[in-house]
Amino acid sequence: MKGLPQKGYFKRMRFYLKEMYPLGIRLIYAAILYTSFILFLGKIHNLRLPLFSPYNLLGIWNIFAILLILRLMDELKDKEIDLKLFKKRPLPSGKVLESDISFSLITIIVLYLGANLWNPKAFWAVAVVLGYSLLMFKYFFIPRLLRRYLLPNLATHNPIIALILLNIVILFTVQQDLSMNDLSWASLLLLIAMYWAMFFAWEISRKIRSKEEENEYVTYSQIFGRFGAVFVAGSAQTITIIIAFYFLHKFSLSWLFTAILVIGYAITIGAHARFVLKPNPKTSKLKPFGEMYILSITIAFIADNFFIG
C-alpha cells in the first residue's frame, strides 16, 4: 500500500523538493555553473564581465529551472520503474501526488519561458532547450527502444547538456551585443566539450553498481563491466582536464586554478581505482565524486578570476 500523502500541495511539494531537488543546494550549483562558464566566455573573448547583472540572474534561473523541469519530467516518465524498484521515493510511496508533479512541471515551464520573453533571441534559445526536453520526456517517440536499451537512451538524452551550455552562449551574445560570427568558435567549442565531458562522466558514474547491488535496473556496470564503466567515466574526466590544461596554457591561468584542478582530478580517479580494486556497495558510490569533480572545475575558473584577478 502507498503511504498517505501529506495534506496540501505546498507541504507535499516541499517534502518532494527536500528529498529530490533541494532548492538551496541546486540554486548554488546553478550559480556556480553559470558563473564559471560565463566568466570563461568573457576570458575567451577578452571581455571582463560584471559579477552582478540582470543577465546573470536570468542565466542562473535558466539553468536552475531547466534542471528542475528535467527532474519533474523524470518523475513522470519513470513512474513505473520507480514503483517497481524505488518504492521509497516520494511519488511511488504516495507522499506526493502525480497531479502535484504535473502542476509543478507546467508552472515551472511557464515561468522558464516567461522570464525570457523580453528578448526574442533569448526566448527562442530556451524554447529549443525546452523542445528537446519534451522529446526526451516522450522518449523521442520510441519508448520501447529507449526504455530497454541504456546506450541509445544516453545518446539521445545527453546532448541536452550541450544545448543548455549553448543557451548560456546565446545569453552572452545578447548581453554583449555580439553576433554569432563575433564568437571565437574554436575555443568556444572546446569549452563546451570540456563541460559536456564532465557531465557525461557524472551520468555514467551515477549508474555504476557493485555486483551485489545489481538488479533489474540497467546500469553501465552491467553493460561495460566494473572496469569498463569506470574507464568510460574516467576517460571523459581525463578529456576535461586535458582541455582545461590547454586553457591553462593559452590564457596563462593561475597556480590556484592548477591546484584545484589537479586535486579534484586526483580524488576522483582515486575513487574510481578504489572501486575497481575493492568493489562493494560502499565504494560503488561514485556519483558524489562526479559531482565533486564538476565543482572543482567550475570553482577553479571562478577562483582564478576573482581571487587572482
User: Domain check: are 160 and 111 in the same one?
Assistant: yes
pTM of the entire predicted model: 0.93
Domain count, the chain: 2
What is the arithmetic mean of pLDDT over 219-239?
97
In this prediction, residue 7 carries a pLDDT of 77
Q: Is the pLDDT confidence value at 57 over 80?
A: yes
User: Domain check: are 140 and 188 in the same one?
Assistant: no
What is the arithmetic mean of pLDDT over 29-57?
92
- Asked if residues 17 and 89 have their Cβ atoms less than 8 Å apart, the reply is no
In this prediction, residue 305 carries a pLDDT of 82
User: Domain check: are 151 and 190 in the same one?
Assistant: no
Judge residue 108's burial from the number of C-beta atoms within 10 Å of its C-beta, 0-12 exposed, 13-18 middle, 19 or more buried. middle
Q: Is the pLDDT confidence value at 9 over 90?
A: yes
In this prediction, residue 52 carries a pLDDT of 82
The three cell numbers of residue 7 are 495534506
CATH number of the domain encompassing residue 191: 1.20.120
In this prediction, residue 5 carries a pLDDT of 64
Q: Is the pLDDT confidence value at 307 over 70?
A: no
E strand or H helix at 73, and its extent? helix 54-77
Phi-psi region of 139 (alpha: psi -120 to 50; beta: other; left: phi over 0): left
User: Domain check: are 36 and 114 in the same one?
Assistant: yes
- Choose one of 157, 180, 203: the last residue of a domain: 180
Q: Is the pLDDT confidence value at 111 over 80?
A: yes
Q: What is the pLDDT of residues 166-212, one digit of tens each?
A: 999 999 999 999 999 999 999 999 999 999 999 999 999 999 999 99
User: Domain check: are 9 and 121 in the same one?
Assistant: yes
- Asked if residues 209 and 279 have their Cβ atoms less than 8 Å apart, the reply is no
- In angstroms, the CA 199 to CA 177 distance is 29
In this prediction, residue 6 carries a pLDDT of 65
User: Domain check: are 150 and 189 in the same one?
Assistant: no
The three cell numbers of residue 301 are 575558473
Helix axes 160-176, 23-44, angle to 10 degrees: 60
User: Domain check: are 144 and 80 in the same one?
Assistant: yes
In this prediction, residue 1 carries a pLDDT of 40
Grid coordinates 546553478 are at which residue? 30
User: Domain check: are 91 and 74 in the same one?
Assistant: yes
What is the arithmetic mean of pLDDT over 138-166?
94
DSSP alpha helix (H) spans, 115-184? 120-137, 143-148, 150-157, 160-176
The fraction of the chain above a pLDDT of 70, given in percent, is 97
- Choose one of 135, 152, 180: the last residue of a domain: 180
Domain that holds residue 168: 1-180
Q: Is the pLDDT confidence value at 81 over 90?
A: no
CATH number of the domain encompassing residue 96: 1.10.357.140
Give how far the C-alpha of residue 296 lies from the chain's centroid of Cα atoms, to the nearest Å.
Answer: 14
User: Domain check: are 135 and 13 in the same one?
Assistant: yes
- Choose one of 153, 180, 207: the last residue of a domain: 180
Q: Looking at beta carbons, which pairs linking 248-253 to residues 24 or more positions away fall under 8 Å?
A: 250/187, 251/43, 251/44, 253/304
User: Domain check: are 205 and 273 in the same one?
Assistant: yes
